[in-house]
Amino acid sequence: MFRSLSGRFLILTAIFVMLAEVLIFVPSVARFREQYLTDRLERAQIASLVLLAEGQVTAELQEELLRNAEVFNVVLARDEARQLVLSSPVPAPVSRSVDLRDASALLLIRDAMHRLASPAPEVIRVIGEPVRMGGRLIEITLDTAGLRAAMIDYGLRILWLSLVISVFTATLLFIVVQCFVVRPIRRVVRNMRDYAANPEDARLVMKPGSAITELREAEESLQTLQTRLTAALRQKERLAQLGGAVARVSHDLRNILTAAQLFTDRIERSEDPGVRRLAPKLVNSLTRAVHLCEATLAYGKAEEPAPVLARHRLRDLVADVLETEAMAAEGQELRFVNAVPDELILLADREQLYRVLANLVRNARQAIMRGTTPGVITVGAEEDAREWIIRVADTGPGLPPRAREHLFQPFRGGVSKGGTGLGLSIAAELMRGHGGNLMLEHSDERGTSFCITLPKGNFTGPS
C-alpha cells in the first residue's frame, strides 16, 4: 500500500498536517503559559482584596487564601507604596522573575520552551498589572511544578487533537485521490495493457472520459498515439503484402527483360541510322530495368546491394541522364543544363549514382510539365577537400508542404499523383550506402533544389 500513489499521498498528508500542528503548538503553549500565570495573578489580587477589605485575618485564613491562589506571597503596589499583603514560607530562593506587562511574543515562546525543557521545579516571581485598576502592579511567587504539569497536559491534548485531525484529513484526501486520480490512472494503465496485447484492434483505442483536465489531456494524447500506431501497423501489414506481390512481379519482369536483351543484338546489326542511334539507348534502358528489378527484390528483403566504387567522369554520367530525360520531354518547353565541370572525377557506384540522378531529374521534369510555364533543369557539381557536392535544381512550382514532411519515407513521400514515394527513399538509401547524404536544400514557388554529398575518403583524383 505504501508504495502506491494513494498510500504515499496518505502518509505525506498526515506528516504535513502534523508539521502544521507543530507550528501551531509552540505559540499555543506559550499562550497557555501566559494565561496560566495571568490567572494566578488574578486569584492573588482577589485574595489580597479580601484581606484589605476585612482588615486583620487569622493565619489559617491567609494560608487558605494563598493555597487557593496557588502562590506563596502577594505584593500589591497601590499608589507609591508596595505592600506585602499575603505571605507564607517560601520553600526555595526565587530563581528568576517573569514580567508579563510588556512581554513580546518571542520572549513568551522562549520562556515557555525553557519551562518545558526544565523538569526541575523552581520558585519564580511573576509581575503583572492588576485588573480593573486595582493598583500599579502586583507580584506573586509560585512554584513552577504545577505550571509545567499543566503545560504538559495541555500539550498532550493538542497533540492528540492534531493526530485525530491529521488522520481524518488524510483519510478524506485518500478517498478523494482514489476517486479522482488513482482510478482514472488505473483505467489508463488497464487500457495500455489491453492495447499492448493486441494493438491492431481499433476497439481497444483509448476513449477519453476523465473530468480532470490534466488526465483528460493525457488520455487524448494516448488516444492519438494509439490511433496512429494502429494505422501504422495496418499499413505495415498491407505494405508487407504489397512487398511480396512486388517482389514476385519484379522477379517475373526481370526474366522477361532478360529475354528481351537477347534480341537486342539483331537490333544493333540493323543498317537503319535511326535504329543504330537508338539501339544503345534501348540496350542501356533494358539493362537498367533489369537492375531495377533486382534492386526492388533487394529492397523487399530490406537490403540494398553494396556500392561498387569506381572512378567516373561525372559530366558524362549527367549527360547520359539528361539525354534520356530530354527524349521523354520532347515537344515540351523544357531545357536541360549540364553545369558539371569537365575535369570533375568522383568515386562512386556508377549504376547507383545514375539511378539517384535519374530519379531527381525525372521528378523535376514531371513537376515542370505539370505547370504551364517553360522550365529549366540544371545539374551542377563542385568539390572541396572533403567531399563532392552535386546539385539538381529546377524552376518548377516547388513541392507541396505535405510531400516535404515525408519526403524520404517510402510510400508516403510521393510527389506526383499516383506516386509511391519509393524513388527518393531508395535514392537517399543509396547515398547513405556511399557514406554520403541526399537532402532537400529548398523548395518554393521559385523552384526546388536537391543536394547530394559524397565523401572523398582516401580518393586523391585520377591515376
* Domains defined for the chain, CATH in brackets: 5-170 (no CATH), 306-455 (3.30.565.10)
| Structure confidence at residue 419 (pLDDT) | 47
| Structure confidence at residue 233 (pLDDT) | 79
pLDDT tens track of the chain, all 463 residues? Answer: 556 666 777 777 777 777 777 777 788 888 888 888 888 888 887 777 766 655 566 677 777 778 888 888 888 887 667 777 778 888 888 888 888 888 888 888 888 888 888 888 888 888 888 876 667 788 888 888 888 898 889 888 888 887 787 778 778 877 887 787 778 888 888 888 888 888 877 778 888 887 778 888 888 888 888 888 888 877 777 767 666 666 666 656 665 666 565 566 566 666 677 666 766 777 677 676 766 666 655 555 545 667 889 999 999 999 999 998 888 787 788 999 999 999 999 999 999 999 999 989 998 998 888 777 889 999 999 999 999 999 999 998 888 877 777 687 765 545 554 444 567 888 888 899 899 999 999 898 889 999 999 999 755 455 4
Please tell me the distance from the alpha carbon of residue 297 to that of residue 303, in angstroms, as a whole number.
9
Compute CA distances 402 → 51, 395, 406, 413, whole Å: 104, 20, 7, 8
Compute CA distances 345 → 39, 379, 380, 389, whole Å: 108, 15, 13, 12
Please tell me the distance from the alpha carbon of residue 243 to that of residue 235, in angstroms, as a whole number.
12
Please tell me the distance from the alpha carbon of residue 157 to that of residue 4, in angstroms, as a whole number.
33
